[in-house]
Structure 1
Amino acid sequence: MTLLALGQLRRRPAAFAGLAVALFLLLATTTLFGSLFATEATAPTARRAPVAGPGLRVIAGAFGEIAVLVAFFVVVNAIGFALRRQHRELALLRTIAATPRQVRRLVRVQIVLTALAVAAPGALAGVYAAHGLLGALQRRGMAAPALDVPVTPLPALVALAITLAVGLAASAVAVRRISRIAPAAALTATTTEQGRTGPPRLVAGVAALAGGGLLLRLSATRPPDELDKAGQAALLGSLVLLVAVGLTGPLAARALVAVLGAPLRALLPGTGWLADANLRGHARRLTSAVVPVALLVGLSATMTIMTRTAERAAGPTGAASATDVWLRQAELALLTCFAAVSTINTVVAVTGERRREFALLRLVGATRRQLLRMLTAEALLTTAVGVLLGATVAALATAAFSAAATGSAMPSVPAATCGAIVAGAAALTVPGILGSGLRAIRGPAAELVGGGRD
């Protein structure tokens, strides 16, 4: 299995590039916060001093918890696309008597090898970031000046163990479908999309919606002197709601495209109609592209609006200090980084795997210019759906936090910053889809339809 996995990694490095980046970020982040935790935990009592803010261990624990949850979300997505790029090969293995257990073992070996490949650079990046973040915290009085990051491999080893655990857990989710269906059906499934959202997925989606609602209720009912707890509950609630969006996405995304696509079909009767039909006809593919955009917009907008609302609630009392605001901005930068990587990985993978589809359209008379117009319409619709879903989650989460902070469900919304978030999501999504599309429509159409190139 190791030799077969190595062969797949060497033959398809691009298929695992997004996964490698996601695992690298997870490993670097967990090394970063593990190093900060070790900094305070191993420091002699003489080096510790009273500081402003919650302290290194609390910061490392809170940030690390959210980072691992978001990273799991991103890694699951990346593994799913790595598998989709080799779906046909895995299906062929099933047809030549490979058992489901062997397929799952092959995927696990691929995850382990990819994680080991990024272990050293990820650990180094995490330690370097820990030194930088510790210095920033010390300059703001949030860490004792005498503290220093300890020279120990333990945080990196723990981070590697967490990365492997997340990767293997995510692979179990991603490989479930192809490893359980019959061999002939597995080969057929490489060219078709399952049309319906299964009952287990819908039940999980409803459960996630309920869980997110409970977390937001918990946030809204916190007293004003527990804003940190209200903020953490609201942020976790938004993340759980975004998981629910991913689970129930095919239904919601198809409905939104039907509404948003109507003016597009009227303005562009040809390419607009085709773009709308493509998105609605491939709801799962649409959801794969929409969810990272919703994650980026939802988390970024939630953190931004919560920060502004906390500042308004503080008013002249100064309850929200500059250090609190800085911590929220640092957490926002971290979460945005994960969400941006997921968005780029997804839109590139989703568009790149449509080469045969584009080649078939060219064989029936579509020009490259028409295909690019169709992709532009699809990119705009995809961005709009993702922004709407993310904005809805952000609105619910920040309303709950505002109720706790100010007694009103109307949060303070920095319009310019939120506009920049939407523009950033569009800047990642639209060029990513068009750039991948330009690459995907290159080459002879007949050869691509025949499977001569991938």
Structure 2
Amino acid sequence: MIPVALGQMRRRPAAFAGLACALFLAIATVTLFGSLLAADVTAPASARRAATGPGVAVIAGAFGEIAVLVAFFVVVNALGFALRQQHRELALLRTIAATPRQTRRLVRAQVVVTALLVALPGWVVGGAAARRFLAELRRLGLAAPGVRVPGTPVPMLVALAVTLAVGLAASAVAARRISRIAPSAALTASSTEHGRTGAPRLLAGIGALVGGGLLLRLAATRPAEEMDKAGQAALLAAVVLLVAVALLGPLAVRFLVAVLGMPVRALAPGAGWLAHANLRGYARRLSSAVVPVALLVGLSGTMLIMTETAEHAARATATSVTSATDVWLRQAEVALLTCFAAVSTVNTLVAVTAERRREFALLRLAGAHPWQLMRMLAVEAALATAVGVLLGAVVAGAASAAFSTASTGSVAPSVPMAASWYIVAGAAALTVLTVLGTGLRVVRGPAVELVSGDRD
């Protein structure tokens, strides 16, 4: 299967660009925080005692547990789209007697090859980021001058092993549908979308909602002196709730599009009607585009609101105002999570738009002008942004309310309005520009060749 996997990757490198980027981020992230843990473990005991604050290991663990979860969320999402973009080829392999086991081996081979290709740059970036991060911790007094990132390759090897394990587990889930259906139905299934949300996915989504609710309760019931624990529980709750959004997305999207689509159809009768019909008819595809936007808004919004609430609590209790060290740590975590969410948003939107090449070609053959398609895409992007921002804001509001209850005793957190609007504007700009930029490339070319499949 290795030669077939390499052939697929050489033929359609763009289909694996998002997966490569996601695996690169995962390897770099695990290398970064693994190197920080190794630095703390190998440091002399006197050096660890000389530092103030929680210590390098605690900071690395607090950052790492959330960042690694988000990075792996991005990997699973990117792998799903890599398979969707080659669904037609995998379906053809099934029709010419490829067994389900061979199909799964092909997908696993693609994951392994992609991970090995990005391992070296991931190690380099992760190691450089670890040294830079540790230098900032030393400057802030959170790490002793004698703490250094060791030269051992163990963190890099662990990063590769963990990323491969997660990638292979994700491949087993992602390849399940195409490998289990009958060969005669595989090719037809590659061009259709299921309208119903399966029972396992529905149960998993409900379980994630329950888990997120329990984490919110845990965060809200922490005493004020355990603000850091409340913050970590609230942030983890936001991640779990966003997983629930990903699992239950098609159900929520149908309702929100039905509500938001009515004014859009009134304002733009032509492009608005077509965009609304597309979004309602392909709720799962829209859900795939909405979830990264919700991830971007939900995580960055949660961190910003929690930071503002913590500063307000410190001023209200007349204790030491939040130090520059605390602010820097929270800003670093916001930047890291925003980077992951932005990469996931771009990868997903590019993949979702690019896979509609034949759909756009059919519309052109039916008489649609490319600029009409671009207007339709603009309306779709605006609706996807609105739905994603709304879902992300709900998650951020729930998580920050739980944190505010623990830190201030009030369910209403302190919201930095200017920064919040920047998040919304950034998410909207990223979504619209990515969709339109990909759309400009996708709608070009001879429509007849694109419909017949002679050109990708």
- Shorter-chain TM-score category? over 0.9
Kindly indicate whether the alpha-carbon contact (under 8 Å) linking 1:36 and 1:56 is maintained by their aligned counterparts in 2: yes
- Counterpart position of 1:73: 73
Within 1, Cα distance between the matches of 2:255 and 2:320?
Answer: 45
2:54 is the counterpart of 1:54? yes
- Counterpart position of 1:208: 208
**Secondary structure of residue in 1 paired with 2:269:** coil
- Counterpart position of 1:246: 246
Within 1, Cα distance between the matches of 2:285 and 2:305?
Answer: 30
- Equivalent residues in 2 for 1:116-195, closer than 5 Å: 116-195=116-195
TM-score by length of 1: 0.99
**Secondary structure of residue in 1 paired with 2:33:** helix
Within 2, Cα distance between the matches of 1:431 and 1:447?
Answer: 27
How far residue 284 of structure 1 moved from its aligned partner, in angstroms, is 0.6
The one-letter amino acid paired with 1:413 is V
- Counterpart position of 1:339: 341
Within 1, Cα distance between the matches of 2:378 and 2:225?
Answer: 48
- Counterpart position of 2:402: 400
How far residue 45 of structure 1 moved from its aligned partner, in angstroms, is 2.5
- Counterpart position of 1:358: 360
Within 2, Cα distance between the matches of 1:374 and 1:70?
Answer: 32
Kindly indicate whether the alpha-carbon contact (under 8 Å) linking 2:104 and 2:179 is maintained by their aligned counterparts in 1: yes
Within 2, Cα distance between the matches of 1:50 and 1:205?
Answer: 46
- Counterpart position of 1:388: 390
The one-letter amino acid paired with 1:384 is A
**Secondary structure of residue in 2 paired with 1:314:** helix
2:31 is the counterpart of 1:34? no
Within 2, Cα distance between the matches of 1:168 and 1:134?
Answer: 32
- Counterpart position of 1:442: 444
How far residue 406 of structure 1 moved from its aligned partner, in angstroms, is 0.3
How far residue 291 of structure 1 moved from its aligned partner, in angstroms, is 0.1
Kindly indicate whether the alpha-carbon contact (under 8 Å) linking 1:72 and 1:170 is maintained by their aligned counterparts in 2: no
Within 2, Cα distance between the matches of 1:362 and 1:180?
Answer: 35
How far residue 322 of structure 1 moved from its aligned partner, in angstroms, is 2.3
How far residue 319 of structure 1 moved from its aligned partner, in angstroms, is 6.0
- Counterpart position of 1:317: 319
Deviations 1:110-130 (A, max 9, x none): 000000001111101111111
The share of aligned pairs that are identical, in percent, is: 73
The one-letter amino acid paired with 1:167 is G
**Secondary structure of residue in 2 paired with 1:124:** helix
The one-letter amino acid paired with 1:298 is G
Within 2, Cα distance between the matches of 1:185 and 1:59?
Answer: 51
Deviations 1:19-49 (A, max 9, x none): 0011001101110111111111011234333
Off by >4 Å, runs of 4+ in structure 1: none
The one-letter amino acid paired with 1:81 is F
Which consecutive residues of structure 1, in runs of 5 or more, have no partner in the other structure? none
How far residue 80 of structure 1 moved from its aligned partner, in angstroms, is 0.6
Kindly indicate whether the alpha-carbon contact (under 8 Å) linking 2:43 and 2:146 is maintained by their aligned counterparts in 1: no
Within 2, Cα distance between the matches of 1:152 and 1:48?
Answer: 19
Kindly indicate whether the alpha-carbon contact (under 8 Å) linking 2:290 and 2:387 is maintained by their aligned counterparts in 1: yes
Within 2, Cα distance between the matches of 1:112 and 1:175?
Answer: 15
Kindly indicate whether the alpha-carbon contact (under 8 Å) linking 1:313 and 1:405 is maintained by their aligned counterparts in 2: yes
How far residue 282 of structure 1 moved from its aligned partner, in angstroms, is 0.3
Deviations 1:32-86 (A, max 9, x none): 1111111110112343333232111111112111112111211111001100111
TM-score by length of 2: 0.98
How far residue 329 of structure 1 moved from its aligned partner, in angstroms, is 1.2
Deviations 1:142-173 (A, max 9, x none): 10011111111111001111110111111122
Which consecutive residues of structure 2, in runs of 5 or more, have no partner in the other structure? none
Kindly indicate whether the alpha-carbon contact (under 8 Å) linking 2:302 and 2:396 is maintained by their aligned counterparts in 1: yes
RMSD after superposition: 0.9
Kindly indicate whether the alpha-carbon contact (under 8 Å) linking 2:48 and 2:55 is maintained by their aligned counterparts in 1: no
Within 1, Cα distance between the matches of 2:322 and 2:41?
Answer: 27
Moved more, 240-249 or 262-271: 262-271
The one-letter amino acid paired with 2:420 is C
Deviations 1:277-318 (A, max 9, x none): 101100110000000000000000000000000001111302
Kindly indicate whether the alpha-carbon contact (under 8 Å) linking 1:30 and 1:64 is maintained by their aligned counterparts in 2: yes
